[in-house]
Structure 1
């Protein structure tokens, strides 16, 4: 089983001619209400990509409101077990997303109930059953660290997506996260930021990832958009997976799709290079439609594209 410990949001998405600059107002014809939150997104992506012999469960929090009810129903519809998601007094998290004509986006997230997620929400039984634990940075990091440490003591593999990276990323926090992770997933900018925080500033993301992998004794995976993804293992071994050439419609859920599909490949015990390649293909497919979860591909679509190219 894959256990996702993380955020659950409702996304309010507007298509605009250009993303507004500070002090600027832009108009959109309409907006859409979609399901999101990096944790929920990654849970859905993993569920769709995972072999049906396993499952996905999520630990998180929503509000006692209509958004919370809808988010829970959507997760269940996508095969994600919701038994360990709690309802609280804070409102369900919400993200406000602008998407421009090139498919680029700007996102503001109001944490709401996500800010109350606690380590105790992940009980011993569900944690013991997990083969892979997936974490992000949209719930309290102290809670995520506590759960990750417990999971590793159980022999569970921990995949930590350092997104969104905090503005104050210091050496102590980086070392804590690395010590509790088997696989750290970052984008190019996050790779450079982590390396710099650890006192090993680099000029390119590959060198930064190598420094992070050595320092943390973990596998550092860097997503690089159209360049695909690079994995550097603690022993220095490198694996690269290409991205599929596409014309993006909306990149909102691509990173979360990558993480979910990668976690599914690890849980399915695929060779890491194959899991990495599937994750890249899944992320590319997710850019071809509007919205995060709505665009995430099924396992069959990833496999077909993987074969057909």
Structure 2
């Protein structure tokens, strides 16, 4: 993280200027935060010593269909759970949330611990979260529409066309889903594990959320599904097995398009390599 004066930070990112009416005195300093793929956030330390995270709205967040206002609504709705940062301020330039002090869990979290956190999120009443349900087809169509023609070639075309519709499954209800729950988005604190980076969160099929975490954590699907159902007290395990297996190629396709779009936006070859790996997994 690069630490710099507030004025230097504002010169680098003009969106920070929108916070000058929020802070009664200019903040002491700001630091760039590493690790986020979608956006470049800032740690802002105010004159009174309180720390925040500034999550800007940019052409990058728009490209990935991220709404800071929706993120603000979700964080505000679940504030009493204590599982996430508090949403402090929202404007057309971005979202300011509290900084969570603790140890990033990175790759050092047991999958059981992650599942317990996921279940806590899935058990939050959706009645208190005023956002529209996640639309899988609309999301992947959005990614595809933004891609340049150089990416719209085989086998990407066939993969997208084959898997762009949500699967027809037994209804297990919709829950609040984080959609990027892994150790790198969890912080160990004195009061337990907290979850950060809610920019992709939505009301959706929890089996998709579980699918995404199984993949990123490299877990065996069947064992992970049975353990999730055991921890959550679910008896109809078959519907969950069928659901996760149906979501897997679709989740991989969505991630593939995400990486292709990231390669287009940033030009980093690593994103294209990841997209090709996912393409090979889907085709196999």
TM-score for the superposition, normalised by structure 1: 0.28
Higher relative strand content: 1
TM-score for the superposition, normalised by structure 2: 0.30
Q: Name which one, 1 or 2, has greater alpha-carbon Rg.
A: 2
Which of the pair has the greater relative contact order for Cα pairs under 8 Å at 6+ separation? 1
